[in-house]
Amino acid sequence: TLRPRLPKPRAASRVIVAQAGNGSGSYKVAILGAAGGIGQPLSLLAKMSPLVSALHLYDITNVEGVTADLSHCNTPAQVAGFTGKDALAGCLLGADVVVIPAGVLRKPGMTRDDLFSVNAGIVRDLVAAVADHAPGALVHVISNPVNSTVPIAAEVLKQKGAYDPRRLFGVTTLDVVRANAFVAARKGLPVADVDVPVVGGHAAATILPLLSKARPKAAAAAFTDEEVEELAARIRDAGTEVVEAKAGAGSATLSMAYAAARFLEASLRGLDGHDDVYECAYVQSQVVPELPFFACRVKLGRGGVEEVLASELRGLTDYEARELEDLKPRLKASIDKGIAYVQQNQ
Ligand code: NAD
Ligand code: LMR
């Protein structure tokens, strides 16, 4: 779970040199889309992180207000705001991690793929700027449809000669956060004890919670078939549950900011040299040979992804194995759509 800690005061004269994996405990984070529904609470949580020394906020609107507001919090991270395309280079320069929640969101009745026509171009252009101005940064893509925007980001980075698959992530942490919350509630367990790996992608049936691999193991063993199907359906439809509850006013923002902050903190701990950092994320891998991108548990380290834990896909239940087969063509189509978009719009 995310454990926001109050930062220790630092000497004002301290010189901070932020480089990936420097073990300094101080990193520069850029958030693109920082004035949005996710961007604002995520910026607040990042401002509270003791691992963040500089926080650069970029948006096409309202970033001055968010920056002024956030800069009054008395935590050490220095906040700076940037707006307009000309400011993007300055925002990105020296960033260790770039988080991208920029783009449009779903209204009731829409699928995440309905966002492709707008968000594909936004992600392409922002990631091109990352390649130019922060080529060594870890890139966390939140903008939907994640199943396609991450392959888009990869293609852009390849074209720019800046692609390192270990440093590109689709943020699927919210699926894990939801799975943990729903399983804990269903089984009456302390939520801090629950850990459910969620693999596949981040849309409807491509989201595959591996309830048989959940911790605590006793709880995983005690799920009935009905419970497994009900919980899997709730986890898969949880984004739609929020979209419908907000009735046109937005999609998940607070839980997403919480999840993105958890993944940011994990990435920073990895960069900082901690050797026990594991999270699920949508990354390039060969875990499922037909799928060049797949969400899976990964070990995070100084260079980003240190290991993709393929072992988690062994010993699946019949239900999970069937669901995995079912999601493959859906996820492949979304990946191919993203790759084709970049290749056709060069
Ligand atoms: P929002 O509309 O509240 O905020 C989006 C922000 O992006 C706005 O401030 C907007 O000005 C900004 N923006 C648009 N184009 C931009 C550009 N070219 N450069 C910089 N900023 C730009 O939306 P939100 O609720 O914050 O959601 C953002 C995205 O995150 C959506 O695509 C949504 O579907 C997705 N999302 C993903 C997950 C996930 O689990 N990965 C969860 C929730 C939402
Ligand atoms: C979510 O899972 O909440 C996000 O992907 C937003 C959405 O549109 O459902």
- Look up the ipTM and state it: 0.99
Q: pLDDT higher for 199 or 21?
A: 199
**Burial code of 272-308, b = ≥16 C-beta within 10 A, e = fewer?**
beeeebebbbbbbbebbeebbbbbbbbebbbebbeeb
Instruction: Give every CB contact of residue 215 below 8 A, 6+ residues apart in sequence.
Output: 193, 194, 195, 196
The structure tokens listed for 280 are: 């699920």
Q: How much of the chain, in percent, has pLDDT values that exceed 70? A: 94
Distance in angstroms (rounded) separating the CA atoms of residues 10 and 212: 45
Task: Provide the 3-class DSSP secondary structure of residue 169.
Answer: strand
Choice from 42, 100, 112 to test ligand 2 binding pocket (greatest atom count within 8 A of CB): 112
- Cβ atoms within 10 Å of 22's Cβ, excluding its own: 16
* Whether pLDDT at 1 is above 90: no
Burial (CB count within 10 angstroms: exposed 0-12, middle 13-18, buried 19+), residue 145: buried
Cα 260 vs. chain centroid, distance in angstroms? 5
**Looking at residue 169, what is its pLDDT?**
99
The structure tokens listed for 32 are: 């693109």
C-alpha distances in Å from residue 215, one per residue of 207, 230, 314: 19, 18, 16
Q: What is the CA radius of gyration of the chain?
A: 19
Q: Which band of pLDDT confidence, cut at 50, 70 and 90, is reported for residue 220?
A: confident
Average pLDDT in the 231-241 region? Answer: 98
* Whether pLDDT at 2 is above 50: no
Q: Which residues line ligand 1 (CB under 6 A)?
A: 32-33, 35-39, 58-61, 101-106, 115, 119, 122, 126, 142-144, 146, 171, 174, 202, 250-253, 256
The one-character DSSP state at 215 is B
Task: Determine the atom of ligand 1 nearest the C-alpha atom of 37.
Answer: 3
**Of 54-63, 88-97, 216-225, 328-337, which range is least confident?**
216-225
- Distance of CA 77 from the midpoint of ligand 1 (Å): 23
Answer yes or no: 274 catalytic.
Answer: no
**Looking at residue 219, what is its pLDDT?**
87
Distance in angstroms (rounded) separating the CA atoms of residues 60 and 20: 27
CB distance 261 to 173 below 8 Å: no
C-alpha distances in Å from residue 62, one per residue of 25, 33, 59, 213, 263: 30, 10, 7, 43, 25
The structure tokens listed for 54 are: 């500089």
Instruction: Give every CB contact of residue 264 below 8 A, 6+ residues apart in sequence.
Output: 29, 42, 45, 46, 49, 97, 99, 140
Regarding the beta carbon of 236 and ligand 2, being less than 6 Å apart is answered no
Distance in angstroms (rounded) separating the CA atoms of residues 83 and 33: 10
**Looking at residue 99, what is its pLDDT?**
99
**Looking at residue 199, what is its pLDDT?**
98
**Looking at residue 21, what is its pLDDT?**
54
Task: Provide the 3-class DSSP secondary structure of residue 244.
Answer: helix
Distance in angstroms (rounded) separating the CA atoms of residues 201 and 300: 19
Task: Provide the 3-class DSSP secondary structure of residue 308.
Answer: strand
Distance in angstroms (rounded) separating the CA atoms of residues 152 and 168: 11
The active-site residue, picked from 56, 133, 140, 202, is: 202
Average pLDDT in the 148-159 region? Answer: 98
Distance in angstroms (rounded) separating the CA atoms of residues 36 and 286: 34
The structure tokens listed for 217 are: 């193991």
Q: Which band of pLDDT confidence, cut at 50, 70 and 90, is reported for residue 24?
A: confident
Q: What angle do CA 99, 71, 258 make, to 5 degrees?
A: 40
Highest-scoring range by mean pLDDT, 6-10, 17-21, 33-37: 33-37
**Of 56-60, 206-210, 222-226, 297-301, which range is least confident?**
222-226
Taking the CA atoms of 232, 234, 238 and 244 in sequence, report the sign of the dihedral they define.
positive
- Distance of CA 242 from the midpoint of ligand 2 (Å): 8
Average pLDDT, the chain: 93
Q: Which band of pLDDT confidence, cut at 50, 70 and 90, is reported for residue 345?
A: confident
Atom 2 (ligand 2) nearest CA:
239
Amino acid at 324: L
Could you read off the pLDDT of 105-151 as tens digits, one per residue?
A: 999 999 999 999 999 999 999 999 999 999 999 999 999 999 999 99
Average pLDDT in the 281-287 region? Answer: 98
**Looking at residue 25, what is its pLDDT?**
82
Which residue pairs, CB below 8 angstroms and at least 24 apart, start in 317-320?
317/212, 317/228, 319/225, 319/228, 319/229, 320/208, 320/210, 320/211, 320/212
Regarding the beta carbon of 179 and ligand 2, being less than 6 Å apart is answered no
Q: Which band of pLDDT confidence, cut at 50, 70 and 90, is reported for residue 9?
A: very low
Q: Which band of pLDDT confidence, cut at 50, 70 and 90, is reported for residue 22?
A: low
**Looking at residue 62, what is its pLDDT?**
96
